[in-house]
Amino acid sequence: MIYYHFADLDDVLVAALERTSGARIDRYRAELAGIDRAVPTIARLRELYDEDTATGHIAAVQELYAGARPGTRLAAQLALETKKWEDLAERQLAVLLRGKPLGSVVRVRALAGAAVALYLGMETLTHLDADRSRPATLFTQAARLAAVFDRVPRLRRRAPGGR
């Protein structure tokens, strides 16, 4: 029946990836919309990560990454979906960094790529050593850093010609 709708297994996996990634990124966008502080961002990301873990979403996506061969439709789709996640991370980071002193020294796109890699990599490391506390430890540390970050005031821009 599968081959009635799809040419091969790569087509099945690409369709599954598009559907699951699209649904999850829509959920993340909705949950992060309007949040401009680090503490609530981290709290929301922790909840969403827990959802992704409980439903097996992250584990399934990791399996797709592991099984993708360079030059295949699956690899190309994974690259496209990863870019969408990096775009989402970049938008959220830009909001958080807007007006902050760090905003002028951080390359937001590079940080967004690192955030997506960390998010995916947590599942890989947790799978390897079976340490299910690893994500909670990371999010607890991130929440501490976020609290400090949120206390840093935003810089006010001076009006042109003003002192």
Residue (of 41, 158, 160) closest to 94 by Cα position: 41
Give yes or no for a contact between 128 and 151, defined as CB atoms under 8 angstroms apart.
Answer: no
pLDDT in tens, 112-134: 999 999 999 998 888 889 888 99
pLDDT in tens, 41-70: 999 999 999 999 999 999 999 999 988 999
In-domain check, residue 73: yes
Burial of 96 (0-12, 13-18, 19+ CB in 10 A): buried
Tokens of 133: 């506390």
Domain count, the chain: 1
pTM: 0.88
Question: What was the pLDDT predicted at 73?
Answer: 93
Contacts of 102 (CB under 8 A, 6+ apart): 149, 152
In-domain check, residue 72: yes
Instruction: Print the domain residue range for 104.
Output: 2-149
In-domain check, residue 156: no
